[in-house]
Amino acid sequence: MDTVTVQVEIDAEVYAELQQMAETSTWSMNDVLAQTIKSGLPPSLAKVPSAFHEELLKLNSLGDRDLMKVADGDWPAPKMDETHEKADFLTLRRTYAMSVLRWRGHPVPNLYEFG
């Protein structure tokens, strides 16, 4: 695995929490930082067909209110072709919008919380 060295400035309180986690676990500070970053990454499109990446990535430029409209299904549908319909693009778009909102810190229930 390739690695990259990055220097960042973080709040002293955040650093203290990370350091405490490293000291009280069997993890190194690097492992704690890597796991913290991985768990806080924005939503990935790794499992989404590449044909939809551009349309979904455009959602990142929307403000929170507009993203909420997308997540609620209250956003204009794009031009749909057979590929969009087969992949249920509107549901995919709503799910991605909810993931972006969750990443931005909004209390969005995960899929397992829908009954």
Question: How crowded is the C-beta side of 33, counted as CA atoms within 13 Å?
Answer: 13
Based on the number of CB atoms within 10 Å of its own CB, is 61 exposed (0-12), middle (13-18) or buried (19 or more)?
Answer: exposed
Ramachandran assignment for 64, one of left (phi > 0), alpha (psi -120 to 50 degrees), beta (any other): alpha
pLDDT for the residue 78:
87
**pLDDT tens for each residue of 3-41:** 999 999 999 999 999 999 999 999 999 999 999 998 888
> Whole-model pTM?
0.75
- How many C-beta atoms lie closer than 10 Å to residue 23's C-beta? 10
